[in-house]
Amino acid sequence: MKRREWLATVATLSSLAAVAGLAGCASPMLRGTGDLGVVIGRANGTLYIVDTTAQALIGEVHGLGDLSHASVVFSRDGLFAYVFGRDGGLTQVHLLQQRIVRRVMQAGNSIGGAISADGTLVAAQNYTPGGVKVFDARTLELVADVPAEYAPGKRSRVVGLVDLPGRRFAYSLFDADAIWVTDCSDPKRITTHKFDGIGRQPYDALVTPDGRHYIAGLFGEDGLAMLDLWSDKPTVHRILGGYGKGQAPLPVYKMPHLRGWAVAGRRAYLPAIGRHEVLVVDTETWAEVGRIPVAGQPVFVMARPDGRQVWVNFSVPDYHRVQVIDTQSQAIVQTLEPGKAVLHMEFTPRGETVWISSRDDNRVSIIDTQSFATRARLDVPAPSGIFFTARAARVGF
């Protein structure tokens, strides 16, 4: 066969394979998952699958229950999304086939979860009943149930669950003023190390990108609790104690989230509870080195992947705004109004765009982080959380 004829035949077969894939036949069109992501449809229990290269909505998966406070983690290969619903549902979704693979109702009230570093275990943090449940990531069979029982007959709500190296999970007990670390490296002998009296009402937490420090924000008092996981004898230390000292307490309209914290060089940027400020912290000494006034009470404070910018969204009544901090000048360089009720932001892996959900305007805005121009808008009913598969390669995400 002549080369020209051979190339024409190959092109024809490729086109037929693509058509078959689009039609849902047995031979799907091949593609990677590295530029895929999901948007939570808060009001209708739907997961919207997006392509960050095409900047487009490419599919929908229905039947995920109550997603009013939902979060997502991904398998190591980026093929599966694990969705934690507020109703206690844990759902495994195949991103390429755009379908539910498995779904279990594992609790009465759940607010998130994590996946182990080796991708074999998925853990859910639960309000009702308080505790953590660990599942086989492939089958969703229960591996461990760790009740957050801090006194006879009393269970705490669990918050701030993150993965740690070595098939471990760290989390905080809101009602028990404690941090627990559960080691699942041996499924037949799961152990939990408990740190009590860490500060009043830990409400959320994070792990630093190197996996060394677990830091819990405290709602009941100013400051944060930090656990050094590299220490031979780990203990909890207080940092940023009294950052609101001498100031009248302010009402908190929405609990800030530490999970999307911002690290740029030696500085970390954190939301100040109830205050119109972003705290700037030296990550070598964990001392406060500055404060940046912002438009409202910050909820998410997130760094662009290169660390040059920090983006901030806010609680009511300022939740239609997003502000951008330049980390060189430590100043606000842009204020945007992408829509009503901004709930979440997510950067593409190299930070050329940020995707912003506006719940009350039923849209996701895709904004250029250099020019601040809006590149595209996607129509999504009541969108909230946005999660890209690049999270699969990051500790604590």
pLDDT at 20 over 90: no
Task: Record the tokens describing residue 231, joined without a space.
Answer: 């220490």
Classify residue 123: in a domain, yes or no: yes
pLDDT of residue 22: 41
- The whole domain housing 185 covers 106-239
Which residues partner with 122 through β-bridges?
A: 115, 135
SS3 state of residue 9: helix
In a domain, 81, yes or no: no
Residue 389 DSSP label: G
- In whole angstroms, what is the distance from residue 261 CA to residue 303 CA? 7
Give the lowest-confidence range in 29-33, 38-42, 124-128.
Answer: 29-33
Across the chain, mean pLDDT equals 89
- Residue-level pLDDT at 252: 60
* Cα 139 from chain centre: 23
Share of the chain above pLDDT 70, in %: 88
Q: Is 364 within 8 Å of 381 (Cβ atoms)?
A: no
Give domain status of residue 97, yes or no. no
Give domain status of residue 59, yes or no.
no
Predicted pLDDT at 397: 74
The pLDDT assigned to 226 comes to: 94
pLDDT greater than 50 at residue 15: no
Q: Which residues contact 246 (CB under 8 A, 6 or more apart)?
A: none
**pLDDT tens track for 234-281:** 999 998 887 654 455 556 656 667 766 688 878 999 888 878 999 999
For tokens 């009702």, the residue is: 128
**pLDDT confidence of residue 265:** 79
Neighbours of 323 (CB within 10 A): 22
pTM of the model: 0.90
The listed range with the strongest mean pLDDT (9-18, 19-28, 331-340) is 331-340
CB 74 within 8 A of CB 115: yes
What is the per-residue pLDDT across 137-155, written as a single tens digit (0 to 9) for each? 999 999 999 999 999 999 9
CA distance to 72, 323, 361, per residue, from 279 (Å): 27, 15, 30
- Of 366, 313, 304, 369, the residue nearest 342 (C-alpha): 313
Domain of 172, CATH number, reads 2.130.10.10
- With respect to residue 180, please indicate whether it lies within any of the assigned structural domains: yes
Q: Give residue-wise pLDDT tens across range 176-198.
A: 999 999 999 998 899 999 999 99
Tell whether 124 is covered by a domain. Answer: yes
- Banded pLDDT at 395 (limits 50, 70, 90): confident
Comparing CA positions, the residue from 378, 317, 380 lying closest to residue 42 is 380
Q: Tens digit of pLDDT for each residue in 372-393?
A: 999 999 999 999 999 999 999 8
Q: Give CA–CA dist 304/244, Å, rounded.
A: 27
The answer to whether the beta carbons of residues 303 and 318 sit under 8 Å apart is no
Please tell me the distance from the alpha carbon of residue 184 to that of residue 167, in angstroms, as a whole number.
5
Give the span between the Cα atoms of 172 and 195, in whole angstroms. 9
Number of domain units in the chain: 1
- What confidence tens digit (pLDDT) does each residue in 54-67 have? 999 999 999 999 99
- Reported as a pLDDT band with limits 50, 70 and 90, residue 210 is confident
Within-domain flag for 369: no
Instruction: Decide which of 300 and 2 is more confident.
Output: 300
Each residue's pLDDT tens digit, 74-125: 999 999 999 999 999 999 999 999 999 999 999 999 989 999 999 999 999 9
